[in-house]
Amino acid sequence: MSAAVVTRGLGKRYRSTWALRDCDLVLPAGAVVALVGPNGAGKTTLLQLLAGLQQPSAGSVSLFGLSAPAGSAQALGELGYVAQDHPVYRRFRVSELLHLGRSLNPAWDQDLAERRIDELGIPLRQRTGRLSGGQQAQVALALALAKRPRLLILDEPVASLDPLARREFLQVLMATVADEGLTVLLSSHNVAELERVCDHLVVVAGGRVQLAGDVDSLLDEHRVLTGPGAGV
C-alpha cells in the first residue's frame, strides 16, 4: 500500500520548548488513522504541520509522495482540514459558507455539499451559530469533504459533543470513508472512542511518538490502554 503521509525527523519548537520532536511516521493511503494522546501531547502541532498550517522547526513532511514545501501547494489541494474548534463562522448562514467554499476551492463539489447538508436536515438558510454542536461538526465535515480531498485531517472532532452526537458523527465519517476510500487522520484523547473506527493508531505523549502501527496488533500488545473510558 502506498503512503499518504511520510514524516522524517519532524519537529516543532516554540521558543525553547519542543512541542513535537523526532517524529518519523508512515501512514498508509486509504487508512483511517487515530492520533491519540493526552492534553499538550503535540497532536494539534503534528496535524497542523501535516496540513502546512505551521512550518516545521526540523525535519520534513511528504503527502502522497509530494514533499513540502516544494509540493505543498499541490498536496494542500488534496487535503481537507477540520480544526479543533471547527471554526464554522457562526454568524454566517450555511448557504454563505457553501458559497465561500465554492469561491475558494477549484475542486469544490457544490452538489455533494448541498446533498450532505440536506441529508442532515439542516436548512441552508440557518445561521451556523444556531445549530447544535453536533450539527456544526457535521457542517464542518461536509465543507471539508466538498473539497474532494484525498486526505482528511480532523483535530478532536468529537471532543465537545455529547455521546449521541459523537456516535452519529463517527457513523457519517465512516460511511464516507467506505464510499470514497479517503485517507483519514483524526485525533482524540481517548483510544477506546476510536479503536472501533480506525485501522492504524499513533500514540503521542510529551511531544514524541510513543507507538505507531496497525491497531489490532498494537491494542493486543497494549490492551491496558483500552479499558472502559481509558485515555492515554
Question: Which residues bind to ligand ATP, rule: CB under 6 A?
Answer: 14, 19, 37, 39-45
Q: How far apart are the first and last CA of the chain?
A: 29
Euclidean distance between CA atoms 148 and 59, whole angstroms: 28
Residue among 99, 92, 84, 94 at smallest CA distance from 117? 94
We find the least distance from the C-beta atom of residue 28 to ligand ATP, in angstroms, to be 23
Q: Name the residue nearer to ligand ATP (CB basis): 44 or 136.
A: 44
Q: Name the residue nearer to ligand ATP (CB basis): 49 or 139.
A: 49
3-state SS, one letter per residue, for 157-225? CCCCCCHHHHHHHHHHHHHHHHHHCCEEEEEECCHHHHCCCCCEEEEEECCEEEEEEEHHHHHHHCHHH
We find the least distance from the C-beta atom of residue 22 to ligand ATP, in angstroms, to be 15
We find the least distance from the C-beta atom of residue 20 to ligand ATP, in angstroms, to be 7
Q: Name the residue nearer to ligand ATP (CB basis): 117 or 185.
A: 185
What is the grid cell recorded at 51?
A: 496540513
CB-based contact 220:204 (threshold 8 Å): no
What is the grid cell recorded at 145?
A: 469533504
Report which DSSP code applies to 128: G
We find the least distance from the C-beta atom of residue 36 to ligand ATP, in angstroms, to be 9
Q: Name the residue nearer to ligand ATP (CB basis): 148 or 189.
A: 189
Q: Name the residue nearer to ligand ATP (CB basis): 42 or 101.
A: 42
Helix (H) or strand (E) segment spanning residue 232? none
Q: Name the residue nearer to ligand ATP (CB basis): 37 or 149.
A: 37
We find the least distance from the C-beta atom of residue 200 to ligand ATP, in angstroms, to be 18
We find the least distance from the C-beta atom of residue 105 to ligand ATP, in angstroms, to be 26
